[in-house]
Amino acid sequence: KAGVTQTPRYLIKTRGQQVTLSCSPISGHRSVSWYQQTPGQGLQFLFEYFSETQRNKGNFPGRFSGRQFSNSRSEMNVSTLELGDSALYLCASSQTGTGPQETQYFGPGTRLLVL
Amino acid sequence: AQKVTQAQTEISVVEKEDVTLDCVYETRDTTYYLFWYKQPPSGELVFLIRRNSFDEQNEISGRYSWNFQKSTSSFNFTITASQVVDSAVYFCALRSNFGNEKLTFGTGTRLTIIP
């Protein structure tokens, strides 16, 4: 089975712009979660989608949004970029996302640099 | 609130030495799962192991072993006969129903194996 894929792998944007990142989960996985990784804050949960619905949300401003499509692929969007949004954005998929026992499998990440 | 603490920020050992990475966790939930992930320089988080709160048996997988002790809320990871390929950042993570099933990560331990 192919793993989680994320595109693009690298992005450079300027302040004020917006960006869309894409994630394709492992085949058969229906839950997709997004995490932000920065040197200062570490790995932080952004949100989780299941069956095209946002099920959980982390503590991030409304500039961060996402969606999930019927094929379980997910996108996240960041509007009005700030310098502090520079980070590695990781997507993870699991089968149903229900219950703490499920393992999340991560993609390679999208490295975003905001200038 | 849930919390995972990895007190060791960076560790360097000479190749073939054994090394233990510490992980201490906090949760109010009685049912939870603990995970270890490896993050090589490429950025992808690679799943290593999952352990549930009711199973305190130690686990060994090749050169890797894990020691789970509920009495001390610890889930430590030992690499025996370390190799240069083990150089990476290692994250301990916790997932429980109380935490809305999101993964709560520690800050990671950067392990460098010196040839």
Mean pLDDT is lowest, of A25-29, A61-65, B1-5, B95-99, for: B95-99
Number of neighbouring beta carbons within 10 Å of residue A45: 22
* B86-95 average pLDDT score: 96
Q: Does the beta carbon of A107 lie under 8 angstroms from any beta carbon of chain B?
A: yes
* pLDDT in 10s for each residue of chain A, 115 residues: 689 999 999 999 999 999 999 999 999 999 999 999 999 899 999 999 999 999 889 999 999 999 999 999 999 999 999 999 999 999 999 987 677 778 899 999 999 999 9
- B18 vs chain A: nearest CA distance in angstroms? 26
State the virtual CA torsion across B102, B103, B104, B105 in degrees, nearest 10.
-160
Contact B40, B23 (CB under 8 A): no
Tell me which amino acid residue B28 is: R
Q: Does the beta carbon of B42 lie under 8 angstroms from any beta carbon of chain A?
A: yes
Q: Does the beta carbon of A60 lie under 8 angstroms from any beta carbon of chain B?
A: no
pLDDT of B98 above 70:
no
Binned at pLDDT 50, 70 and 90, residue B60 comes out as confident
Q: What is the pLDDT of residue B58?
A: 81
Measured CA distances, B11 to A1, A50, B37, B40, B110 (Å)? 34, 38, 16, 15, 6
Counted across chains A and B, CB pairs separated by less than 8 A come out at 59
Contact check, Cβ <8 Å, B42/A108? yes
Mean pLDDT is lowest, of A104-108, B5-9, B58-62, for: B58-62
Contact check, Cβ <8 Å, A108/B43? yes
